Amino acid sequence: MLKLNPVKPEIANDGETQDLTYTISELAKEFGITTRAIRFYEDEHLISPERIGRQRIYSGRDYTRLKLILRGKRLGFTLADIADMLNLYDSEPGEKAQLEVALVKARQRRQSLEQQLDDLKLTMTELDAFETSCREQLKNL
Amino acid sequence: MLKLNPVKPEIANDGETQDLTYTISELAKEFGITTRAIRFYEDEHLISPERIGRQRIYSGRDYTRLKLILRGKRLGFTLADIADMLNLYDSEPGEKAQLEVALVKARQRRQSLEQQLDDLKLTMTELDAFETSCREQLKNL
DNA sequence: ATTGACGTTTACGTAAACGTCAATATAATA
DNA sequence: TATTATATTGACGTTTACGTAAACGTCAAT
């Protein structure tokens, strides 16, 4: 293999170190997903790695985006939703109108997240009650 | 229409009143989903309404299950996951082994929910930072 | 020169969760 | 009773998020 990452440090870090690059299979292993998934995210414009020839080279920024993508997925968001979030974050507004649009979108996101938080709390409360009831019944045996 | 719900009270309630029944379209309207979706949940054994002839009659219990289904969906769980949860809750254990299995499953659920809670908090924190930064930039104009 | 490990593109396949007709059956109402 | 509204059962279509080959390129090592 072409020596793309010649002096990759062995020290444990969060993977976001500057100038550190990754191959697709390194990222796949790190995040426990397939290379196919990573390429798919690129098709959907969620990541845009550099290229050396045809080969993809992922940066620390790509690493971070991937982390955000997977977190978004665990929260049940679609890739389209996640794309929105990512584009929101790395758009360089500068203009007033842009900033205000960003704030509106952020507020909508917050709405959605708060709804989820409520749902989460309710679900946990019910689970608590259920577990308590189970233990109660176990005791009465 | 056959008078299935003859004395449905007009007072606002949580829809879980005992002995109250619903037609499929009433539920659809109430929850903002299509009748197709509701029938699909039945195909997947998430609800099992009574029948009068071929027509489906939904009980307060069905109403509650539907509410739980939609909450599960908002949390990003698959219908299979949700089916597990529902079956978990309304299984009548009685036996010790059953109860212990239930407790194990409950713990797994909790794991998943806590992971989501962490993800949710992180995402909200980042959103906060982003909003603050936006407002900051707006002030400097 | 070949083998192996990894990477690439292209293309078709698939499971989940419904949407969207179409045809038919009841039910409610004028 | 005729009409209108609602319900039911197929059956096929659609979107999302990848999986699964197939066929080929690249480099390192033997």
Q: Are residues B69 and B11 in the same domain?
A: yes
Q: Are residues B102 and B135 in the same domain?
A: yes
Q: Is the predicted pLDDT of residue B2 greater than 50, yes or no?
A: no
Q: Structurally, how many domains does chain B consist of?
A: 2
Q: Are residues B9 and B42 in the same domain?
A: yes
Closest CA to A28 of A61, A66, A65, A80: A66
Q: Are residues A137 and A111 in the same domain?
A: yes
Rounded CA separation B87/B4 (Å): 28
Give the CATH number of the domain where residue B21 resides. 1.10.1660.10
**B127 within 8 A of A110, measured Cβ to Cβ:** yes
% of chain A at pLDDT higher than 70? 87
Q: Which nucleotide C1' is nearest A1 CA? A: D27
Average pLDDT over residues A62-76: 97
Q: Measured in whole angstroms, how far is the alpha carbon of residue B48 from the centre of its chain?
A: 15
Bridge partners of residue A22, in order along the sequence: A58
Which strand (E) or helix (H) includes residue A132?
helix A96-139
Q: Which nucleotides of C are covered by protein (CB under 7 A)?
A: 5-9, 16-21, 25-29
Query: Nearest CB to A134: which of B71, B102, B123?
Result: B102
Q: Are residues A12 and A28 in the same domain?
A: yes
Average pLDDT over residues A107-129: 96
According to the model, what pLDDT value does residue A94 have? 78
Q: Are residues B113 and B141 in the same domain?
A: yes
What count of CB pairs under 8 Å joins A to B? 97
Count CB atoms within 10 A of the CB of residue A72: 22
Q: Are residues B134 and B65 in the same domain?
A: no
Which of B24, B47, B77 is at the close of a domain?
B77
Q: What is the dihedral of CA B111, B112, B113, B117, to 10 degrees?
A: 100
Q: Is the predicted pLDDT of residue A102 greater than 70, yes or no?
A: yes
A20-79 residues near strand C (Cβ < 7 Å): 23-26, 35, 39, 54-56
Which strand (E) or helix (H) includes residue A55?
strand A55-57
Q: Is the predicted pLDDT of residue B7 greater than 60, yes or no?
A: no
Q: Is the predicted pLDDT of residue B47 greater than 80, yes or no?
A: yes
Q: Is the predicted pLDDT of residue B48 greater than 90, yes or no?
A: yes
Using the CB atom, is residue B3 less than 7 Å from strand C?
yes
Q: Which nucleotide C1' is nearest A37 CA? A: D18
Average pLDDT over residues B30-52: 97
Q: Are residues B97 and B64 in the same domain?
A: no
Distance A140 CA to D11 C1' (A): 52
Average pLDDT over residues A59-84: 97
Q: What one-character DSSP code corresponds to residue A57? A: E
Q: Mean pLDDT of all residues in chain A?
A: 89
Decide if A138 touches B, using CB distance below 8 A: yes
Q: Are residues B23 and B46 in the same domain?
A: yes
User: What band does A57 get if pLDDT is binned at 50, 70 and 90?
Assistant: very high
Segments forming the whole domain that contains residue A83: 1-90
According to the model, what pLDDT value does residue B91 have? 82
Tokens of A121: 């709390």
**pLDDT tens-digit profile of A8-41?**
544 455 655 667 899 999 999 999 999 999 999 9
Rg (CA), chain A: 21
User: What band does B13 get if pLDDT is binned at 50, 70 and 90?
Assistant: low
Q: Which residues contact B109 (CB under 8 A, 6 or more apart)?
A: A127, B85, B88
Q: Are residues A63 and A3 in the same domain?
A: yes
Average pLDDT over residues A111-115: 96
**A70 within 8 A of A27, measured Cβ to Cβ:** no
Which of A90, A108, A125 is at the close of a domain?
A90
**pLDDT tens-digit profile of B76-114?**
999 999 999 999 998 887 789 999 999 999 999 999 999
Closest CA to B119 of A69, A16, A65: A69
**CA distances from residue A9 to A13, A29, A57, B75, B116 in whole angstroms, order as listed:** 9, 17, 17, 38, 32
DSSP-H helix ranges across chain B: 24-31, 35-43, 60-74, 79-90, 96-139
According to the model, what pLDDT value does residue A38 have? 98
B114 located within any domain? yes
Rg (CA), chain B: 21
**pLDDT tens-digit profile of B113-137?**
999 999 999 999 999 999 999 999 9
Query: For residue B99, what is the nearest residue in chain A, using CA coordinates?
Result: A134
According to the model, what pLDDT value does residue A90 have? 87
The count of residues in chain B is 141
